[in-house]
Structure formats: C-alpha cells, structure tokens
Structure 1
Amino acid sequence: MLYNLLFPLADVFSPFNLFRYLTFRTGGAVITALVISFVFFPRLIAWLKSKQGEGQPIRTDGPETHLKKKGTPTMGGLMILIAVTISTVLWVDLTNAYTWIVLGVTIGYGLIGFQDDYLKLTKRNPKGMSGKAKLIGQVGLGVAAAIAVVLVAQPTLATGLAVPFVKDFVIELGWFFVPVAAFVIVGASNAVNLTDGLDGLAIVPAMIAAGCFGLIAYLSGNAIFANYLQIHHVPGSGELAVFCGALAGAGLGFLWFNAPPAMVFMGDTGSLSIGGALGAISVVTKHEIVLAIIGGLFVLETVSVIVQVTSFRLTGKRVFRMAPLHHHFEKKGWAEPTVVIRFWIIASILALIGLSTLKLR
C-alpha cells in the first residue's frame, strides 16, 4: 500500500524513491510485523487465557513432561496471521497477483486451523476436526491456488516443475501440474503442523525457511540475478520477499512468547497457515523440490509419522518410541530444550544445503 501511495510521489519528495526497492520494503515488513507482535501479543494472550480456561488439551499418551503445560492457551497463530497480513498489505505492491495468492492461502489455511483449534477447545478433544474434513478444505484451497498460479505465470513456466542442480530444465507436466502443486502446498502445511509439538520447535525452522525463500523470491524475480545464477526467472515473484519478511518478523515476535516455557502455543491456526504459505511460495518461485531440502526437518518429522503408522499396521511393531520424531527423542530422555535446539541446528544445515542449489547448476 505504501508503495502504491508514496512511490508515485517520488518526483515531488525524493525520499519516497526508497519504496521502489524490495530490500527496503522487506526490511519494513520485518520491523512492522515484529512491532505488531510485541505490542498486541500480550493482550491477545491475556484474552485467550480468559476465553480458553484450561488451555489446549494435552495428549495423555504423550511425554509425561508435557502434562505441566496444561493451561497454556493456544491459537497464538492468530497474532502471526494478523501481523503478516497487515505488514504485507502495508509494504507490498498491491497490484502483484502472486502476493494475493500466497496471502489467500495463508489466511485460508489459518481459518481451517482456527476451526480445528476451536473444536479442540470446545470439545476438550486433542483431535479437533476430522482428518477428512480438514484435508478436503486444504486440498480445495491448494487446487485453487495452483490454478491461480498457472493462470498468472508466464506460459513457458506455468505448468513446469523445475529440477534443482540442473539449469534451463523443467519437467513439463501440463495441467497435471495443478495436483502436484496442490500436493506441495497441502504437504508443507501438514508437515509444519506435525513439527509443532515442542516450545519453539516449529517457528524457528519456519523463519529460516521464510528467510531462504525471501532470498529465492528476490533472486528469481530479478532477471539479472536469475540469469547469473541460471535459475528460472519468474517476473513478479520478487514481491514475495516482502511477504517472507513479514512472516519472519511475525515469527520472531511469536518466538518471544513461545520460547520455553511457552506462554502461548501457535496451534493449527499458525502451523497450517505457515506451512501452506511456504508451499505456495515454492510453487510460485519454481522451487518446489528445493522446499523439501530447505524444509527438510519438516519432511523428516512427516516421514517419521508415515513410517510409524505403516510399520504398526503391517507388523504391529513401532519403529520409534513415539512419533513425530521429536517425541521419540523425548522418550529417550532428551530434555525438551535439547531436542529443540538440536533440531534448529539440523534445520539450519538443511537450509544452507537448499540455498546451495542456487549456484550448483
């Protein structure tokens, strides 16, 4: 909004020329989201406590140390959504279609998560929405977003799947790209959701991924940098750097209150929306496969659940002491902060590997 209002006046007041730079507006989005979080999060937490009573239901079959978290409010993802939305709208070019697609996915998945959290609280049931209802909503939004991306993107890249480490090559999928893109968005959303089980565990890898994709969006949206790095140039995708900045700033603000011992949980309201946003950005920037590397921690957590369920159904035996993976290490005796920080380290290493694909062509 500020770009659309103030940049046209740069000839009258030269400092407004700053709004032409993505780096300036991305920094502005980070700070804005952070300030909004610091100012309003305490009030939201107080309001959530007054409304939720006993807070998020705690799984009785989970690690015993989690029982002490009883009474901690959830739905902290509401503040993330508010901060991201306000910051993005304030600093982004409102004529850019990609930002509206990603913002639509973020808010839509946030509403699904909100419904899930609401049912958990009102029915005092950790399961919330039925898996079928949740998946239908996620797939519907994912398909709609994928179609929108295809319609907006330039024809030469619209339905192609880029392969990392290989320059000037895409797998042309035709309209089959739509279910593939939807799968990426839905998968990323649920992967972040599965990872969100310990204080601070999901939000830091999410911020790392947001930072990486902010850089990827900036580079792929710039013809000169894209040509130099031999990655696919996606005109207009650079504006998503502003969104990623807002997401990183909101995540940092949330971490202040989610650091152990957490004052609030993000809930599905936050985890589903963040994962969906990352998936949508990867689809727009043609880095869907790279998301699996940068967000490798989320992939590991998801695979651990799939392996656990498959093994138990086929053999009656469990591979892990408990799934997702972070609970396995808790059951082995690792302290919660130890699990969280070590997983942060793994996420950082995987992010660096993912970024290396930008140059290794």
Structure 2
Amino acid sequence: MLLILIKCLAYFSKNLNFFFINFKIRLIMSLLTSFIITFFLSPFFINYLNKKKISQIIRKEGPITHYSKNNIPTMGGLILLLSIFISVIFWSNLFNKYIFYALFLMILYAIIGFVDDYYKIILNNSTGLSPYKKLFFQSITTIFIIVLIYINNTEKIYIQYIIPIFNLRIKYNLNLILYLTFSYFIIIGISNSVNLTDGLDGLVIMPIIFISLALSILCYFSGDIYFSKNLHFIYIKNIKELIIICLSIVGSGLGFLWYNTYPAKIFMGDIGSLSLGCIISMIAILIRQEFLFLIMCGVFILEAISVIIQVLRFKYDKKRFFLMAPLHHHYELKGIAEPCIIIRFWIISLILVLFSLIIIV
C-alpha cells in the first residue's frame, strides 16, 4: 500500500512539472507553502494540544524559572514536519533520489521523536525513551539509510576538506566502512545536539533556518557545473532539487518561530528537534560538505560538549564544571535573561554560518 502511494505521489509530482514556470518559482513556492501551512495551522494545533493537555514536561533538576513552562503545549514539531513534507511533495521531483533519502530519514526520525515525546507525556516525566533505546533506534535507522545511499551510488564517494586562509581543498575517497562511520557520527551527533540545544524559547529554530539557507546555497553550487568547477566543489548531478527541502525548512521554521519565540506558546518537542537535526545532516552529507556543515553547527556542538564535560567531571570527582548543562542553562543560572541568551546564541550561529560560506570563496 505504501509503495502504491509513493508511486502515485511520484507520478503526480512528475506531471506537475507541466505547470511549473521554472525552478525559481518552485523554490519560492516551497518556502511560501511551508510557511503558510505552519503559520495558519499552528493556532488550531495549539488549541487542540491545550484541550488534550499535551504539554511540556519540565525536568525537576532544571532552572526554577522553567517551572512556569510546564503547561505550554509540546510536539509542535508535528506541524513543522507536516508543512515540510507537504511542500516538498507538491514542489519537488519525487523521482529525485536525494529527495527520497532526506524525506525518508526525516520520517523515520520523526517516529522516534514522537515515541519519545509520547512516553514523556504518558509517564509524566522528562526522560521519555531511555538514552540507550533512543540511540539504538537512531543507529538502526541511520545505518540503514547510509548503506542504502552507498549501494545506490554509481560514483566514488568523497569527503572534502576546506582549509581556510590557504584556500586548500582536499578530497578523500571513502570506502563503505569509512563513509558509514563518518556519516553515522554526523547524523547521530548533530540530531542529538539539536535536541539538547532545544531548551529555550526559539533557541534552536533560528540556527536551523540559518543553516538551511546556507545549505541551499551549497546545494546550488554543488549542482552547477560552472560554480562547482570554479569553487573546486564535487559536482553532483540533480542535487539542486534539495534546495526545495532547505527552503521548505526555512519557511516552516519562520512560521513556527512566530509562536515559538519568547515567551513561547508551543515547543517543538523531540519529534521536531531530532527530525530537523537529522535532515540538515543528511543534506550536508549528500552534497559532500560535512566539514563546512560542522562549522555551521558550532552552537549545537558546543551545547553537546558542555553536557559531555559536565557528565565526565561529575563522574570523576562528583563536582560540576558548569552550574548546569547544557550551556544555555549555565548562563541562565548566572542571571542572564533568557531572551538575551537566545539572541546571543543566534548571533553566534549566524557568524559561524557566514564564516563557513566565506571560506569557500
């Protein structure tokens, strides 16, 4: 049944090309479609969640100021993912294998995030799925899609190092084991880092928007023979279609930010943070720009490192390195206002994204 549905959607998508004026129109429409869906459906979804009392579960050891957020609806990621999915279905070519890889991984991670959020709500605690179970399901999903990509790839797979200042590009050919290992840690690491960062109102969604915009530029460069040659990128045929996903994320993110900005009326939950983290990671892997992507994700990586340092320090001598981890909670306990922390993290994220784009020139 699922196979028939996919074939029907693919046929519908292919024949819609008759109505398309050009690729630029599709890009604009993908952004507007996802924005409109998120912006106008979110109030209804918020009311529904309030009626069903599906609200955020605040961890007991968290900052005291967060206790007031205990009744704010969660699982807003459902609207985000729905808007992205609908926009991509309508405005992209579903016969494009890169679209399939990205959407497929996003859906699988959405299921994991949904189960995690569901467990938190029915068990009335902030734990949800145990870290080991979550990692297990993420690992199975990630390994499956990476192996699928590698097997179906007809050309050699490279990773590309770009060394700033010296303008050096180093390409390294990967076998299955290296490709699997490298891609696995990027997808698992970034998706969970995004999940850890999602602790303040609007903190995650704006960096996701910045990164998605940058990835859309890199997709364009990678899919254009002229630009890829001049920038010494790896040329990848038909990869430009991924720009539609990138701009759909931007549109849905902007619509969601309207309600998620401080003071938030809705949270995205694990279903949103895990899915968004995995799909931007997947796009970076498909365009072979993993190292630039890691620079862009500096804020997420820093948040994850703060948690690792905190755990290791506490296990070593029962003392804390930070007042609280992740890092944004540390600054909260130092008395910095939440909106101030959010905006400063946004600024840092923007600087890292701009830096990653500057060094390719």
**TM tier, smaller:** over 0.9
Structure 2 counterpart of 1:114, one-letter code: F
State whether residues 162 and 169 of structure 2, in contact with CA within 8 Å, keep that contact through their aligned partners in structure 1: no
Once the two structures are superposed, the pairs formed by residues 174-213 of structure 1 within 5 Å of their partners are 174-176=175-177, 177-213=179-215
**In the TM superposition, what is the alpha-carbon distance from 1:167 to its structure 2 partner?**
5.2
- Residue by residue over 1:290-328, the C-alpha shift from the partner in whole angstroms, topping out at 9 and shown as x without a partner, is 111011110111111111111111122211110000000
**In the TM superposition, what is the alpha-carbon distance from 1:215 to its structure 2 partner?**
1.0
Residues 154 and 163 from structure 1, CA distance in 2 versus in 1: closer, same or farther, beyond 3 angstroms?
farther
Structure 1 counterpart of 2:330, one-letter code: H
What is the match of residue 162 of structure 2?
164
What is the match of residue 18 of structure 1?
21
Instruction: Give the Cα separation in 2 of the matches to 1:234 and 1:161.
Output: 13
Identity %: 38
Partner of residue 266 from structure 1, selected from 265, 268, 277? 268
What is the root-mean-square deviation in Å for CA atoms of aligned residues? 1.5
**In the TM superposition, what is the alpha-carbon distance from 1:168 to its structure 2 partner?**
5.5
What is the match of residue 237 of structure 1?
239
Instruction: Give the Cα separation in 2 of the matches to 1:247 and 1:299.
Output: 20
Instruction: Give the Cα separation in 1 of the matches to 2:357 and 2:210.
Output: 11
Instruction: Give the Cα separation in 1 of the matches to 2:126 and 2:149.
Output: 35
**In the TM superposition, what is the alpha-carbon distance from 1:89 to its structure 2 partner?**
0.9
Residues 149 and 356 from structure 1, CA distance in 2 versus in 1: closer, same or farther, beyond 3 angstroms?
farther
What is the match of residue 221 of structure 1?
223
SS in 2 for 1:263: coil
- Residue by residue over 1:96-141, the C-alpha shift from the partner in whole angstroms, topping out at 9 and shown as x without a partner, is 0011100111111111011000000000010000111110111111
Instruction: Give the Cα separation in 2 of the matches to 1:352 and 1:93.
Output: 30
Residues 116 and 67 from structure 1, CA distance in 2 versus in 1: closer, same or farther, beyond 3 angstroms?
same
Using the TM superposition, name which of 225-234 and 84-93 deviates more: 225-234
Instruction: Give the Cα separation in 1 of the matches to 2:302 and 2:332.
Output: 16
- Residue by residue over 1:159-179, the C-alpha shift from the partner in whole angstroms, topping out at 9 and shown as x without a partner, is x22112365532223112112
What is the match of residue 34 of structure 1?
35
Structure 1 counterpart of 2:15, one-letter code: L
Instruction: Give the Cα separation in 1 of the matches to 2:266 and 2:321.
Output: 31
What is the match of residue 318 of structure 1?
320
What is the match of residue 132 of structure 1?
132
SS in 2 for 1:163: strand
What is the match of residue 116 of structure 1?
116
Instruction: Give the Cα separation in 1 of the matches to 2:81 and 2:16.
Output: 25
**In the TM superposition, what is the alpha-carbon distance from 1:185 to its structure 2 partner?**
0.8
Instruction: Give the Cα separation in 1 of the matches to 2:152 and 2:221.
Output: 19
Using the TM superposition, name which of 173-182 and 195-204 deviates more: 173-182
Instruction: Give the Cα separation in 2 of the matches to 1:65 and 1:50.
Output: 24
Structure 1 counterpart of 2:101, one-letter code: I
Instruction: Give the Cα separation in 2 of the matches to 1:108 and 1:217.
Output: 23
State whether residues 97 and 152 of structure 1, in contact with CA within 8 Å, keep that contact through their aligned partners in structure 2: no
What is the match of residue 47 of structure 2?
46
SS in 1 for 2:126: coil
**Number of equivalenced pairs:** 347
**In the TM superposition, what is the alpha-carbon distance from 1:37 to its structure 2 partner?**
0.8
State whether residues 223 and 239 of structure 2, in contact with CA within 8 Å, keep that contact through their aligned partners in structure 1: yes
What is the match of residue 95 of structure 1?
95
**In the TM superposition, what is the alpha-carbon distance from 1:17 to its structure 2 partner?**
5.4
Instruction: Give the Cα separation in 2 of the matches to 1:97 and 1:167.
Output: 30
Instruction: Give the Cα separation in 2 of the matches to 1:45 and 1:56.
Output: 12
Structure 1 counterpart of 2:161, one-letter code: V
State whether residues 13 and 89 of structure 2, in contact with CA within 8 Å, keep that contact through their aligned partners in structure 1: no
Structure 2 counterpart of 1:5, one-letter code: N
Instruction: Give the Cα separation in 1 of the matches to 2:137 and 2:53.
Output: 25
Unaligned runs of 5+ in 1: 10-15
Instruction: Give the Cα separation in 1 of the matches to 2:152 and 2:342.
Output: 39
TM-score by length of 2: 0.93
What is the match of residue 14 of structure 2?
4
Instruction: Give the Cα separation in 1 of the matches to 2:318 and 2:348.
Output: 31
Instruction: Give the Cα separation in 1 of the matches to 2:176 and 2:360.
Output: 27
Q: 1:142 aligned to 2:125?
A: no
Structure 2 counterpart of 1:292, one-letter code: L
Structure 2 counterpart of 1:126, one-letter code: S
State whether residues 294 and 355 of structure 1, in contact with CA within 8 Å, keep that contact through their aligned partners in structure 2: no
